[in-house]
Structure 1
Amino acid sequence: MKYCALASGSNGNCYYIADAEDAILIDVGINAKHVELRMANLGIVPSTIKAIFITHEHTDHIRGLAVFCRRYQIPVYMTAGSYRGSRLQLPENLLHIIRRDEEIEVGSLTICGIPKYHDAQEPCSFWVSNGEINIGVLTDIGRICDNVKHVIRQADVLLLEANYDEGLLDTGSYPFFLKNRIRNGWGHLSNHIALETVLEYRGPRLRHLILGHLSGQNNKVELVRQTFAPHCGKIKLSVATRYQETELFDSQILLPQLTTKIVVRQIAYQASFVFPE
């Protein structure tokens, strides 16, 4: 499998995952022109994208969606609440309304929605697998629920948000209500909580940890690296930023030792996903 972050941060998010000819995007939160430019930098052809999955309706996850999906006639999968909250008018032939815990097959890929806590309407994260490699994309996580724990335990590749440094948030210029919104259990994960979560719940399969969705004002790439690097050992550590795409990672190079196949349907339903109120 190949995967990358085309953009990751509080101003825009877009993630690419592919298995041979089967490719998807999770979120299109930067404008379509920048998606195309960043894809071109990595040799990705936009017309090869077979589906787009949307985590929720906030602007930094849907900014370029309408233009991009129309331009390349790509099916879009999102919950009814996310679509309603987005106020977008997508073509009926491209829009697919899904449940938050639904499994969708796109060629060799199985994509499973992961219900989560976030201040949006019917938000979900996504788990993507080809039966051998499991990739979890967990951003906009208000708190650590059983769903998040389950994905971390089973992931070979984990993209996890490390949104803010607690000290920078406390001393920063954000008004109190916004600071409270970020850390009230419905907003985002701090560096410290993200690290504690990885250390407690990572499984033996984890080989690549990508930290993303960094705040522009309340976090720094150097802080994230300093926080996580001493604890990664043989796990590859990457930080995705808002400024440019990551490299296009290849699981055959990063994860050569993984041979055990996983049946995603069994993993998903054994998790007994909790639906946040």
Structure 2
Amino acid sequence: MKYCALASGSNGNCYYIANADDAILIDVGINAKHLELRMANLSIAPAGIKAIFITHEHTDHIRGLAVFCKRYQIPVYMTSGSYRGARLLLPENLTHIIRRDQRVEIGSLTVCGVPKYHDAQEPCSFLVSNGEINIGVLTDIGRICDNVKHVIQQADILLLEANYDEELLDRGSYPFFLKNRIRNGWGHLSNHIALETFLEYRTSRLRHLILGHLSGQNNNVELVYRTFAPHCGGLKLSIATRHQETELFDSQVLLPQLTTKIVIRQVSYQTTFVFPEK
């Protein structure tokens, strides 16, 4: 599988995952022109995207969605709450409403919705698998629930939110209501909570940790690296930023030891995800 962060941060998010000719995007939170430029930097053809999955309706996750999906006629999968909240004029033939815990097959990829805590209407994260490699994309996580724990335990590759440093947020210029919204259990994960969660629930199968959705004012790459690097021996560590795309990673390079026995490592799709209460 190949994967990358095309944009990651409080100003825009977009993640690419592909298996052979089957490619998807999770969120389109930057404008279509910038997305096309970043894809071109990695030799990714926009016309090759077979589906777009939306985590929720906040602007930093849907800013470029309407233009991009219309331009390339790409089906969009989102919950009914996200669709209502987005208030976008999407073509009816391209719009697919899904449950927060629904599994969708896109060619050789299975995309599994993961209900989560966030201050949006019917938000979900996603776990993507080709039957051998599992990639979890966990951003905009208000608090750690059993669903998040399950994804971390199942992931070979994990993109995890590390949104803010608690001290920087406390000392920063954000008004009190915004600081409270970020850390009230419906907003985002701090570096400290993300690290604690990673350490407690990671398993030996995890080979690549990508930290993303960093706040522009309340976090920085150097701080995140210093927080996580001492705990990532034997594990590839990357940090996705708002300024540019990551490299296009290849799981075959990352996980050369995998064999046909990997089938026992695939996602347990029989797991019942718990729906966070409002």
Q: Specify the TM-score bucket, using the shorter chain as the normaliser.
A: over 0.9
How far apart in 1 are the matches of 2:211 and 2:269? 23
How far apart in 2 are the matches of 1:261 and 1:106? 19
Once the two structures are TM-superposed, the CA of residue 257 in structure 1 deviates from its matched residue by 1.7
How far apart in 2 are the matches of 1:56 and 1:248? 25
How far apart in 2 are the matches of 1:258 and 1:197? 26
Cα separation, partners in 2 of 1:262 and 1:9, compared to 1, 3 Å: farther
Structure 2 residue runs of 5 or longer lacking an equivalent are none
Residue 19 of structure 1 is matched in structure 2 by 19
How far apart in 1 are the matches of 2:75 and 2:180? 36
Counterpart amino acid of residue 263 in structure 2: K
Runs of 4 or more consecutive aligned structure 1 residues displaced over 4 Å after TM superposition: none
Deviations 1:88-142 (A, max 9, x none): 1100000000000000000000000000000000000000000000000000000
Paired residues of 1:155 and 1:206 also in contact (CA < 8 A): yes
Counterpart amino acid of residue 61 in structure 1: H
Residue 36 of structure 1 is matched in structure 2 by 36
> What are the equivalent positions in structure 2 for 1:117-266 lying under 5 Å apart?
117-259=117-259, 260-262=262-264
Paired residues of 1:125 and 1:138 also in contact (CA < 8 A): yes
How far apart in 2 are the matches of 1:90 and 1:263? 37
Residue 269 of structure 2 is matched in structure 1 by 268
User: Structure 1 length normalisation: TM-score?
Assistant: 0.98
Once the two structures are TM-superposed, the CA of residue 258 in structure 1 deviates from its matched residue by 2.5
Once the two structures are TM-superposed, the CA of residue 263 in structure 1 deviates from its matched residue by 7.5
Corresponding residue SS for 2:210? strand
How far apart in 2 are the matches of 1:263 and 1:112? 16
How far apart in 2 are the matches of 1:54 and 1:262? 29
* 1:109 aligns to 2:109 (yes or no): yes
How many residues of Structure 1 are paired with residues of Structure 2 in the alignment? 275
Paired residues of 1:131 and 1:262 also in contact (CA < 8 A): no
Identity among equivalent pairs (%): 84
Once the two structures are TM-superposed, the CA of residue 151 in structure 1 deviates from its matched residue by 0.4
How far apart in 1 are the matches of 2:81 and 2:154? 28
Counterpart amino acid of residue 267 in structure 1: S
Counterpart amino acid of residue 276 in structure 1: P
Once the two structures are TM-superposed, the CA of residue 267 in structure 1 deviates from its matched residue by 1.1
User: Structure 2 length normalisation: TM-score?
Assistant: 0.98
Corresponding residue SS for 2:68? helix
Once the two structures are TM-superposed, the CA of residue 268 in structure 1 deviates from its matched residue by 2.6
Cα separation, partners in 2 of 1:208 and 1:263, compared to 1, 3 Å: closer
Counterpart amino acid of residue 204 in structure 1: S
Paired residues of 1:101 and 1:114 also in contact (CA < 8 A): yes
